[in-house]
Structure formats: C-alpha cells, structure tokens
Amino acid sequence: MIVKIDPDIEDLVEFFLEKRREDYVNLVKLLKEENYNQIAQIGHRIAGTALSYGFERIGELARAMEMAAKAQKPVDIGKVLIEYDKHLKEVKYECE
C-alpha cells in the first residue's frame, strides 16, 4: 500500500512510522500483561496521530485496538496487532 503524503511533512513521516513500530513492541508487552487501559490509551493516541499524517489504515487499526481494549477482548486485540504489524511492514509513502 502506498500512502500519499504532503511534501511539507515528509521529514516527519519516517519518525512517525518508527514510533509506531516502537508502539507495536510496547503493545505486545502490554497485551501479555493484560494492561487494557494502557492499550486503549495508546490506540487512541495512534488513531489521532495517524490521521493527521494521512495514514488512514493505521488509524483504523488503532481505533479497533482501542475498542477491543476497552471491551477487554485480548483475542481481538491480538488479531488487530497482527494486522497492525503486517501493515507497518508493508506500508510505503510518497509525496503528492
């Protein structure tokens, strides 16, 4: 998947994606600890940030993660995390 980004934020996008990869590692740890509140908070933060950078799919996955965490559904969180990790590995971007 290729995301079209604003050239004005190109310098920030790689940093944004690196932080999302760091979030993934932390989220897996939090899931093992059953820390649903923290997962929901991180999901909420990612969702808002992703949309401002134009990464709609990351935002959708983060929102799904947040909702699953609020409902304390670890299997659903795990499924979203698998998709989130896969997407982060595959997503590319280019300037419009």
Summarised one tens digit per residue, pLDDT across range 28-70 is 999 999 999 999 999 999 999 999 999 999 999 999 999 999 9
pTM for the model stands at: 0.93
- Alpha carbons within 13 angstroms on the beta-carbon side of residue 16 total 22
Give the largest Cα separation in the chain, rounded.
Answer: 41
Q: Which pLDDT does position 80 carry in this prediction?
A: 98
Structure-token pair, residue 78: 């795990």
Q: What's the length of the chain?
A: 96
Structural domains in the chain, CATH included, are: 2-95 (1.20.120.160)
Which of 25, 58, 30, 63 has its CA nearest to residue 44?
Answer: 63
